[in-house]
Structure 1
């Protein structure tokens, strides 16, 4: 007779799975994940679901498709904690309280001599986090209802700062709250893609040493990304940053009125092989990089050549022309049966497709390479050489 697994068994099974995926390189993070009862922070959720490697929504958004708050995917939680590199006795600020689970993990990592402050702008979220932390014995975590863009200066300076919400820019207020030599880990968005970036403060610079693909609920109060429909039915969309010049009308006309072209690179991939590095590589030297979104309706009606990932594919835009990433099965290579390429529309379609192919080929020469990202306050001279992306509060410099 099969026995129903206990919460402890399910928790250990999940951690064992994450260890096999090598997302927990730190034994302290492993201990915290085996110790903190995630199910206690998710009341009403089936026990098995609490220990599945998936996000759990705790507050829906009535005005959009993304939740207002959720419990992050455990593998992403583990990855970001490893990036943060918490030390015993650290003073930590968490932006985005969520369920309170992540703050409990931080409390385990920093220990009784450390301090954890968790803030969130939503009173329902902070109440939930406070209640769950009290129930699980983590009363020492301080939970505050606060705008994450302001931080919590009264408990600064912090040794570690962790954002559990997506950021488009680094708030100016955070600079005075992170000590020199301290670490900041945040899901940072630029040119349509999001990376969890681990940064160390070095004077007036934040310098990365690790970045991983991720996706997070965006912080309330930052609105630097724009979205525009490229057809009347609003089933094909372009997402772009406010500093990018995008001629929506010209792109719409090209999609509906010009023939498409396709071009393939020499780069092959396997069925489970990641190619998101193409996007990252392109952002390091090309200001035309955006994101293309094609809904299932657009694909069913053959309104557009199928993008590599319909909901989020890298896109180059230039005037009334666009080119985006595609994947094609070609050849007899059983290990890598797919080739990466470009589909393009508009008067400069051929040139733009070739530019995207150039980015693909550059990625193919060093597929796991990531750039160094240096962030400095806005309107200051770049701290290092590289490709600069200017935002209202911070200046990003990318260099391979």
Structure 2
């Protein structure tokens, strides 16, 4: 008769699985084998606490995403690896969540050096309670708008955000030492990447970015959402600096006259990610947005199925659009799927060919990521494609 695995066995099994998928620094591995995730998720079944999944700790009624959750453990490991802490570093975490990440940071740098902040009183209390119960009383928990940082404990050697950030606030710049690192799930053109940035005087310079998804931080409203049909089953997500004619787009889709479907030369395997197409397009094209098609719209076949219905890149101009598609072909058994574009509107075919050019550029170097330089909105920019936000300027270059 098999015995029920202990929390420690489940924890080690989870860490082993993460190590099988990605490289994890030895100090991060040690912390994840030490800190009991289940202690920060009271009321959750033990096995569920040690699955590589997010766990909601506070719902957000009327909104599609929860207010707060425990992040996916493999993403936690990835971001802590990007952060590159050293013993004794002073660390600010924006988004306290369950307190689990702060406990990991305490193992890495010492609890006296960790400050975690959350705008929600219930979440901050939960983190304080679980950290105390787990023996991490020395971690500082602050209830405050995380966009303000925590100036009284600054400056910090490391700042990590565990919520989706659309713009980098000037307060974080002011509280990060020169040479310090900032890791955050940064949102632009409808996608989110965990970007590792090092401060070099008046610039933040990237040395890596990874695909991720996080609950957006409260207090930043630079992203817009528009329904493109009366049933609200086709939606466009875009940034405030983009000139989008949502009424013209809605009329185009209502007419149900596609400009056509077009195929690129790029094929992918069944488990191969194609999110790099989106990233590649944002490094030179300001027409990139996110298209969301709900299951109801799919069932009614209102438009040609996007590559990923919930979140596909789309090029938009006037009343025309073209979005990424995936078509199954039997030509190559290793890569049976072919990337392409579906187009609508008078300039749809032109947009489709532009999107295919982005696909082909990605196909020539599928693992390449752009170099990102961030400056404050009051200063100049580095060479490359610039995306302006209220408090920062983002420059991307391959």
Give the TM-score range, shorter chain. over 0.9
Pick from 235, 238, 248: which aligns with 1:237?
235
Pick from 152, 155, 169: which aligns with 1:154?
152
Q: Deviations over 1:127-178 (max 9, x none)?
A: 1000000000011100010110100011011000000110000011111100
C-alpha displacement at 1:268, in angstroms? 0.4
Pick from 140, 144, 149: which aligns with 1:142?
140
Tell me what 2:48 maps to: 49
Tell me what 1:21 maps to: 21
2: CA distance, partners of 1:76 / 1:380: 33
2: CA distance, partners of 1:349 / 1:206: 37
Tell me what 1:262 maps to: 261
2: CA distance, partners of 1:356 / 1:19: 35
C-alpha displacement at 1:379, in angstroms? 3.0
2: CA distance, partners of 1:311 / 1:181: 38
8 A Cα contact 1:94 1:163, kept in partner: yes
C-alpha displacement at 1:332, in angstroms? 2.1
Tell me what 1:8 maps to: 8
Q: Deviations over 1:285-337 (max 9, x none)?
A: 00000000000110111101000000000000011100000000123200000
1: CA distance, partners of 2:220 / 2:117: 17
Following superposition of structure 1 onto structure 2, how do residues 278-293 of structure 1 map, counting pairs within 5 Å? 278-293=277-292
Tell me what 1:164 maps to: 162
Following superposition of structure 1 onto structure 2, how do residues 291-310 of structure 1 map, counting pairs within 5 Å? 291-310=290-309
**The residue matched to 1:333 in structure 2 has which SS?**
coil
Tell me what 2:200 maps to: 202
1: CA distance, partners of 2:324 / 2:22: 29
2: CA distance, partners of 1:326 / 1:42: 39
C-alpha displacement at 1:65, in angstroms? 1.3
1: CA distance, partners of 2:100 / 2:62: 26
Number of residue-to-residue matches in the alignment: 397
1: CA distance, partners of 2:132 / 2:201: 37
Tell me what 2:270 maps to: 271
2: CA distance, partners of 1:374 / 1:316: 24
Tell me what 1:90 maps to: 89
Instruction: Give the alignment's Cα RMSD to 1 decimal.
Output: 0.8
1:327 aligns with 2:326: yes
2: CA distance, partners of 1:259 / 1:29: 50
8 A Cα contact 2:259 2:346, kept in partner: no
Runs of 4+ with >2 A deviation? none
Tell me the TM-score normalised to structure 2 length. 0.99
**The residue matched to 2:64 in structure 1 has which SS?**
coil
Following superposition of structure 1 onto structure 2, how do residues 187-226 of structure 1 map, counting pairs within 5 Å? 187-226=185-224
Tell me what 2:179 maps to: 181
C-alpha displacement at 1:111, in angstroms? 2.9
Tell me the TM-score normalised to structure 1 length. 0.98
C-alpha displacement at 1:23, in angstroms? 4.4
Pick from 387, 391, 394: which aligns with 2:392?
394
**The residue matched to 1:176 in structure 2 has which SS?**
helix
Q: Deviations over 1:57-95 (max 9, x none)?
A: 000001301100000000000000000001000000000
